[in-house]
Amino acid sequence: MKLTSKGRYAVTAILDIAIHADNGPVSLSDISERQHISLSYLEQLFAKLRRNNLVKSVRGPGGGYKLGHMPEDISIGMIIAAVNENIDTTKCLGKGNCQNGQECLTHTLWDKLSQRIADFLNEITLAELVSQHKQKKPSQYKHQDLENLLVIKTNNAQHS
């Protein structure tokens, strides 16, 4: 399983909004500039995020996007699911027809891994990532920082 740019960019963009929420709605062009994500790609992602009520658009001067829920109520798993990112590690996408219509020998292993990944991503909230970001206090929040925060979270979970 590999998380594609669709899921990574969606999480990064919403995290950018959460970090800059105190300044009012955040424009996609600001996110694009700060995170080096194509504006047209962001527009596609935000259509899906809006449909799933994870963000709300604000029209007019000073408009942009704001979170659709409180940061503590938005999990990383919700964001990834909203943009239709597949995190399933089974060959058959969980259907159990991996080998000529039957479950392969390792289906249960990969199915359990998929569930653990989903559980892990659903446990991490935007509020937690914003808090970790504020503790680091970088001059600008970059895409690589999100990956570092998730690695820190993973390492902490493994040592608990």
CA distances from 43 to 11, 101, 107 (A): 14, 39, 37
Paired strand residues for 65: 26, 57
Share of the chain above pLDDT 90, in %: 53
pLDDT band at 151 (very low <50, low <70, confident <90, very high): low
Query: What domains are defined for the chain?
Result: 5-87+125-135 (1.10.10.10)
The pLDDT of residue 142 is: 52
In the numeric block, the tokens 């990834």 are attached to: 80
Q: Of 137 and 5, which is predicted with more confidence?
A: 5
Q: With a threshold of 0.85, does the pTM exceed it?
A: no
Could you report the per-residue pLDDT of 38-70, keeping only the tens digit for each? 999 999 999 999 999 999 999 988 889 999 999
